[in-house]
């Protein structure tokens, strides 16, 4: 603070400018530490307001009306909370919510343990670790869209690489080809698999960074006490990693919750509605049935779920770290 005042004082000492515009500019300029940061931030704040706050307010407005995009001249009127009610009474919504939550929980759980396992495995190799790490990271570097296209091909009935080689085994056992994308239950798990394939590298990266920052003393103490490796993992590594785990799991949960490309490209929410997540349901209502108002209500409900979810996460992590201390 004292620094920035000295900073400001220096600027004021400049020769006085003439003209009203000049004076106004100098009042907003670097000479005024109360106003200048706002001047610097103004463009960013305006853009974020236009695309952050405004769509939100607009969504509130649209959800209070009965707007159908395909009928722009139909009469519009205020319908109160009707749109929210129609969403909550729609069994499709509850089904989509269930699919989304189940997908997110399974994918993030698997990604976390696999990523952590992989990060710990890398502690045990030396030669070629750098190049192997690059290969591990490939799925994450690929655009999500490309990952979806690749796996759509791999799992395609009659011709996909995985379908073909897996078919060898299943035919030998007396089954037919595995219906990776055409059976509702199997298709759901196929999508979870692809999400895990794509994002385990992210968890691996975050866990590697987290492990590198752990202090060494607890391990030395545990070694003196003769603790088993298993015990050390559960009582030292995992609790100390908690901050890194929190960040990684929260980021991944938010992103898994809004997975879109993967599902649209691989199954389009089908077969039936077996893989229709909230995102897919929302775009179906909004841009296929053109029911903008109902879609806006869905998006507001989704936003609320995400906010509540992140609050719960932060609270839970805080409580556990307090009870541990």
Partner 1 sequence: MSQDHRHIVSPNAPAVQRNWWAYVLILFVCVVNFLPYLYVVLTGFMDAATSNKPEPQWIFTPTLEAFRFLLFEKDLLHNLKNSAIVSITATFLSVTLGMFAAYAIARYDFIGRDDVSFWVLTNRMMPPVAVLIPIFVTFQTLRLLDTLTGLIILYTAMQLPFVVWMLTGYFRDIPRRYEESAMVDGDTWFQAFRKVTLPLMMPSLTATAIFVMILSWNEYVFALFLTSAGARTMPPAIVAYSIGANISWNVLGAAVILITAPLIIFVLIVQRQLISGLSQGALRK
Using CB under 8 A as the binding rule, the residues of this chain from 102 to 121 that contact partner 1 are 118, 120-121
- 131 or 173: whose CB is closer to partner 1? 131
Residues near 184 by Cβ (< 8 Å), separated by ≥ 6?
Answer: 271, 272, 274, 275
Number of residues that bind partner 1 (CB under 8 A): 106
Angstrom distance (rounded) from CA 153 to CA 163: 9
Site string for partner 1, 195-234 (x = CB under 8 A): --x---x----x--x-xxxxxx-xxx-xx---x-xx-x--
Burial class (CB in 10 A: 0-12, 13-18, 19+), 270: middle
Q: Which of 25, 105, 125, 314: binder of partner 1 (CB under 8 A)?
A: 125
Residue 169 binds to partner 1 (criterion: CB under 8 A): no
- 188 or 281: whose CB is closer to partner 1? 281
Minimum CB distance to partner 1, residue 271 (Å): 16
The residues in 279-318 that bind partner 1, with binding defined as CB under 8 A, are: 279, 282-283, 286-287, 292, 295-296, 299-300, 302-303, 306-307, 310
Which residues make beta-bridge pairs with 291?
Answer: 68
The residues in 58-77 that bind partner 1, with binding defined as CB under 8 A, are: 58-59, 62, 67, 69
Q: Which of 105, 138, 308, 311: binder of partner 1 (CB under 8 A)?
A: 138
- 143 or 323: whose CB is closer to partner 1? 143
Which residues make beta-bridge pairs with 295?
Answer: none
Q: Which of 83, 106, 190, 237: binder of partner 1 (CB under 8 A)?
A: 237
Minimum CB distance to partner 1, residue 212 (Å): 5
- 19 or 72: whose CB is closer to partner 1? 72
- 74 or 323: whose CB is closer to partner 1? 74
Residue 257 binds to partner 1 (criterion: CB under 8 A): yes
The residues in 30-49 that bind partner 1, with binding defined as CB under 8 A, are: 30, 33-34, 36-38, 40-41, 43-45, 47-48
Site string for partner 1, 143-162 (x = CB under 8 A): xxxx--xxxxxx---xx-x-
Q: Which of 97, 110, 186, 254: binder of partner 1 (CB under 8 A)?
A: 254
DSSP letter assigned to residue 123? G
Residue 139 binds to partner 1 (criterion: CB under 8 A): yes
Region of residue 268 (left: phi > 0; alpha: psi -120 to 50; beta: else):
left
- 170 or 213: whose CB is closer to partner 1? 213
- 72 or 323: whose CB is closer to partner 1? 72
Cα–chain center distance at 220: 37
Cα–chain center distance at 258: 6
**Tokens at residue 278, please?**
């909230």
Can you list the alpha helix ranges (DSSP code H) found in the chain? 2-12, 20-28, 36-48, 54-63, 82-88, 91-121, 129-141, 144-154, 161-172, 184-212, 217-225, 229-232, 238-257, 261-266, 278-283, 292-324
Q: Which of 109, 164, 234, 289: binder of partner 1 (CB under 8 A)?
A: 164
Angstrom distance (rounded) from CA 296 to CA 38: 32
Q: Which of 99, 136, 178, 203: binder of partner 1 (CB under 8 A)?
A: 136
- Report the sign of the C-alpha dihedral through residues 59, 77, 290, 71, in that order: negative
Angstrom distance (rounded) from CA 79 to CA 25: 48
Decide: 190 and 178 in contact? Cβ < 8 Å: no
Q: Could you give the C-alpha distances from 322 to 218, 248, 319, in angstroms and in order?
A: 19, 20, 5
């Amino acid at each position: 603070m004292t620094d920035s005042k000295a900073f400001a004082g220096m600027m004021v000492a400049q020769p006085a400018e003439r003209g009203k515009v000049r004076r106004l500019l100098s009042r907003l300029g670097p000479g005024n530490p109360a106003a200048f940061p706002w001047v610097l931030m103004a463009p960013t704040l305006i853009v974020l307001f236009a695309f952050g706050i405004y769509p939100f307010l607009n969504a509130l407005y649209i959800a209070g009306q009965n707007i159908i995009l395909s009928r722009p001249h139909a009469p519009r009127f205020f319908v109160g909370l009707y749109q929210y009610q129609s969403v909550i009474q729609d069994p499709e919504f509850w089904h989509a919510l269930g699919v989304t939550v189940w997908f997110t929980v399974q994918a993030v759980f698997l990604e976390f343990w696999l990523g952590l396992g992989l990060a710990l495995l890398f502690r045990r190799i030396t030669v070629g670790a750098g190049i192997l790490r690059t290969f591990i990271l490939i799925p994450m570097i690929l655009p999500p869209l490309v990952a979806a296209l690749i796996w759509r091909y791999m799992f395609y009935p009659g011709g996909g690489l995985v379908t073909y080689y897996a078919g060898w085994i299943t035919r030998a056992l007396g089954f037919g080809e595995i219906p990776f994308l055409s059976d509702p239950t199997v298709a759901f798990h196929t999508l979870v698999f692809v999400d895990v394939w794509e994002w385990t590298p992210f968890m691996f990266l975050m866990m590697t960074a987290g492990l590198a920052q752990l202090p060494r003393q607890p391990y030395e103490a545990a070694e003196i006490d003769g603790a088993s490796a298993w015990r050390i993992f559960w009582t030292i590594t995992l609790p100390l990693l908690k901050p890194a785990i929190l960040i990684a799991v929260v980021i991944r949960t938010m992103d898994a919750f809004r997975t879109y490309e993967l599902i649209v490209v691989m199954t389009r929410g089908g077969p039936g509605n077996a893989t229709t997540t909230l995102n897919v349901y929302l775009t179906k209502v909004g841009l296929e049935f053109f029911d903008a108002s109902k879609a806006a209500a869905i998006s507001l409900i989704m936003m609320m779920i995400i906010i509540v979810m992140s609050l719960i996460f932060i609270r839970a992590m805080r409580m556990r770290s307090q009870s541990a201390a």
